[in-house]
Chain A
Amino acid sequence: MRLLACLAGWMLLASAAPPGVNDALILGDTLPPKLSDFGFFRDGKPRPRVHPYTLNTPLFSDYAEKERFLYVPASKTITYRGDGLLDFPIGSALIKTFGYPGRKLETRVLMRRASGWVALPYVWNGNEAELRRGGTRIPVEVHGQPISYAVPNQNQCKECHQLAGSIEPIGPKARNLAQPLLDDLVKAGLLDRAPAGPKLPRWDDLQAPVAARARAYLDVNCGHCHNRAGAASNSGLYLTWEEADPVARGIGKTPVAAGRGSGGLEVAIAPGKPDLSILLYRMNSTEPGVAMPELGRSMVHQEGVALVRDYIAGMK
Chain B
Amino acid sequence: MKALALALLAAAAPLAARTVTVTPGAGAQERLQTALIEAQPGDTVQIAAGRYDLTDGLSLDVDKVTVRGAGPNATVLSFKGQQGAGEGLLVTSDDVVLRDFGVEDTRGDGIKSKGADRIVYNNLRVEWTGGPKETNGAYGVYPVSSTDVLIDRVTVRGASDAGIYVGQSKNIVVRNSTAEFNVAGIEIENSYNADVYANTARKNAGGILVFDLPNLPQMGGHAIRVFDNRVVENDTPNFAPKGNIVASVPTGTGVMVMANADVYVFGNTLAGNGNANVMLIGYKRPFTDKTYNPLLRGVVVRDNKHGRAGFAPSFPGGKEIAAAMGGSLPPIFWDGTGTGVVVRDAVPALSLNLPSPDASVDQARPAPAQFADGPLPPEPKPVVLPPPMEAAIK
Contact = CB atoms under 8 A, between A and B. Distances in A.
B165 to A, nearest CB: 8
Interface string A273-290: 000001000000001111
A255 interface: yes
Contacts of B61: 155, 158
B326 interface: no
A134 B11 CA distance: 24
A289 B137 contact: yes
Given A135-B30, A260-B138, A253 B144 contact: no
B307 interface: no
A256 B216 contact: yes
Contact of A289 (B33, B56, B107): B107
A154 B36 CA distance: 10
A315 interface: no
A289 B108 contact: yes
Given A8-B4, A137-B83, A247 B289 contact: yes
Contacts of A258: 138, 241, 243-244
Contacts of A263: 241, 243
A264 B85 contact: no
Given A259-B137, A259-B161, A153 B33 contact: yes
Kindly state the interface size class of chain B when it binds its partner: 35 or more
Contacts of B160: 259-260
B33 A134 contact: yes
Nearest to A287: B107
B56 A135 contact: yes
Interface string A286-312: 011110001100100000000000000
A288 B84 contact: yes
A27 to B, nearest CB: 12
Interface residues of A, number: 51
B30 A136 contact: yes
A91 interface: no
Nearest to A246: B288
Contacts of B36: 155
A23 to B, nearest CB: 16
A29 interface: yes
Which of A136, A266, A287, A288 has the most chain B CB within a 10 Å cutoff? Answer: A288
Interface string A156-195: 1011001001000000000000000000000000000000
A148 B83 contact: yes
Which of A4, A155, A247, A295 has the most chain B CB within a 10 Å cutoff? Answer: A155
Contacts of B144: 234, 257
A269 B282 CA distance: 25
A150 interface: yes
A294 B243 contact: no
Nearest to B134: A260
Nearest to A260: B241
B199 interface: no
B273 interface: no
Contacts of A233: 145, 217
A228 interface: yes
B136 A260 contact: yes
Contact of A288 (B4, B60, B82, B167): B82
B363 interface: no
Contacts of B136: 260
Contacts of A137: 55-56, 83
B114 interface: yes
A56 interface: no
B84 A150 contact: yes
Which of A132, A236, A265, A267 has the most chain B CB within a 10 Å cutoff? Answer: A236
Contact of A165 (B34, B115, B243): B115
Interface in B261-280: none
B37 A134 contact: yes
A7 interface: yes
Contacts of A154: 37
A79 interface: no
Contacts of A278: 243
A127 to B, nearest CB: 23
A155 B37 CA distance: 7
Given A135-B30, A265-B242, A287-B107, A257 B83 contact: no
A257 B86 CA distance: 11
A236 B215 contact: yes
Given A165-B115, A234-B144, A133 B37 contact: yes
In the A-B complex, the 6 residue pairs with the smallest Cβ-Cβ separation, listed nearest first, are A259-B138, A289-B108, A262-B243, A134-B34, A289-B107, A288-B107
15 contacts: A29-B11, A133-B38, A153-B34, A153-B59, A155-B90, A236-B216, A236-B217, A255-B243, A258-B244, A259-B109, A262-B243, A278-B243, A287-B107, A289-B86, A298-B84
Given A236-B217, A289-B106, 18 more contacts: A132-B30, A153-B33, A153-B34, A153-B59, A154-B37, A155-B92, A165-B115, A255-B243, A256-B216, A256-B245, A257-B161, A258-B243, A260-B160, A288-B85, A289-B107, A290-B108, A294-B85, A294-B86
Interface of A: 4, 7-8, 11, 29, 132-137, 148, 150, 153-156, 158-159, 162, 165, 228, 231, 233-234, 236, 247-248, 253-267, 278, 287-290, 294-295, 298
